[in-house]
Amino acid sequence: MDEHRPHRPVYRLQRLDGDRVVTIVTFHSAAEALMLLLNLPNGYRLTLDNREVSPLSGRHEDAAD
């Protein structure tokens, strides 16, 4: 990581497939994340860096794989 650049959050839309997690898209925009949160279908999750953002469940504090 470049020491002269601040950390940029990384959002990932991931598909849950049994025990596998497949990253569909990676982006840096909070506006895009909000749009996804409002329309997140079942079987998908949104992560911010390595933390699960949605779906909110008992697992949302767990680190994402």
Q: Report pLDDT digits (tens) over 1-56.
A: 567 777 788 999 999 988 999 999 998 888 888 888 888 888 999 999 989 988 76
Model's pTM, two decimal places? 0.69
Q: Is-contact 47 53, C-beta < 8 A? A: yes
- pLDDT band at residue 59 under the 50/70/90 scheme: very low
Q: Is-contact 63 26, C-beta < 8 A? A: no
